[in-house]
Amino acid sequence: MSVALAGVIGVALGAGLLLSGMTAPAKVIGFLDVRGGWDPSLGLVMAGAIAVYAPLARWIQRARKAPWTDVAFHLPTRRDLDGKLVVGAAIFGVGWGLGGLCPGPGVVAAAAGRETGLLFVAAMLVGMLAQHGWVRR
Amino acid sequence: MASSWISALGGGALIGAAAVLLLLTHGRIAGISGVIGSLLPPVPSDRGWRVAFVGGLALAGALAGAFAPAAVGASVRSSTAVVIAGLLVGFGTRHGSGCTSGHGVCGVSRLSVRSLVAVATFMTTGAATAMIAGAS
């Protein structure tokens, strides 16, 4: 049950990414490039997602002691800021602005058979493994 | 113009709804880089839902590729740039504990200070990079 639900949720998330325009690198770069001809529409993706998530997530956590398929919620509790967070986010932003893809849209583009999506995801997995090796060095 | 605003808002709402469902059913943050990164070695014990979640994401992509290829945008960068971008996105999202979904949607919604700082940071470096790369 837990696995089937996660699969359906993954499909819904992928459909949302496709509909939103986040899977179109030219659109993402047109959003990040705020000079003349700026396309601000992708700002509404985050706005729409937060408008749904913020109130409902709050309500779920108040109304329930545990999720449907587990004995407890598994949510981040850290509140401290550290250099690792900022450096990591900065590096991610450079990659996002360069390729116009973030992880979810990368997976969607790769599964759609786009060569750039496949190249991006392969490189992303290498980057993730490299980060793991870096912090363990 | 108007239709791209509506699809952005509707797509965003669908992303938010999917993330809410993952919280309700699994009690997890719908952070794609975290879900994928946790599937790489060393592998955790609860990989069933993670594989299904990423598989669902891929299924949506495969269906779009087959039936609505225009929905999957073409790349505007060289293969070399795409590979460099992938390396940076993989390293950066794991080092910074999240990406656009985990920090940008879930973390900002929960008013996490870490996520707000991460989003401000990756939006800034993303915008700077898009402008520098676009100018060349």
Would residue B117 count as lying in a domain? yes
Would residue B56 count as lying in a domain? no
- A3: closest CA of chain B, how far (Å): 5
Give Cα B135 to chain centroid, integer Å.
25
pLDDT band at residue A33 using 50, 70 and 90 as cut-offs: very high
Q: How far apart are CA A110 and CA A30, in angstroms?
A: 21
| pLDDT tens for each residue of A51-88 | 999 999 999 999 999 999 999 999 999 999 999 999 99
ipTM of the complex: 0.97
Encoding tokens for residue A19?
């509909």
- At residue B42, the pLDDT reads 79
What b/e sequence results for A19-40 when a residue is b if at least 16 CB atoms lie within 10 Å of its CB, and e otherwise? bbbbbbbebbbbbbbeeeeebe
Would residue B22 count as lying in a domain? no
CA angle A93/A99/A102 to nearest 5° reads 60
- At residue B135, the pLDDT reads 56
| Structural domain of B116 | 76-136
CA distances (Å), origin A107, targets A117, B77, B129, B134 = 7, 17, 22, 24
Would residue B103 count as lying in a domain? yes
Show me where the domains of chain A are located. 2-136
Residue in A8, A13, A107, A134 to test binding to B, most B beta-carbons within 10 Å:
A13
For chain A, the average pLDDT equals 96
CA angle B48/B53/B58 to nearest 5° reads 125
Contact B100, A68 (CB under 8 A): no
What number of C-beta contacts closer than 8 Å exist between A and B? Answer: 503
Would residue B111 count as lying in a domain? yes
Would residue B71 count as lying in a domain? no
Average pLDDT of the segment spanning A31-48: 94
Would residue B130 count as lying in a domain? yes
Q: Which residue has the higher pLDDT, A81 or B3?
A: A81
Q: Is A118 on the interface with B (CB under 8 A)?
A: no
Name residue B20's amino acid: V
For chain B, the average pLDDT equals 94
How many domains, chain B?
Answer: 1
Q: How far apart are CA A29 and CA B32, in angstroms?
A: 20
- At residue A14, the pLDDT reads 98
| pLDDT tens for each residue of B24-67 | 999 999 999 999 999 998 776 689 999 999 999 999 999 999 99
- At residue A62, the pLDDT reads 96
Would residue B36 count as lying in a domain? no
- At residue B2, the pLDDT reads 76
| B53 contacts in chain A (CB < 8 Å) | 6-7, 9-10, 13
Question: Which residues lie closer than 8 Å to B67 by C-beta, 6 or more apart?
Answer: none
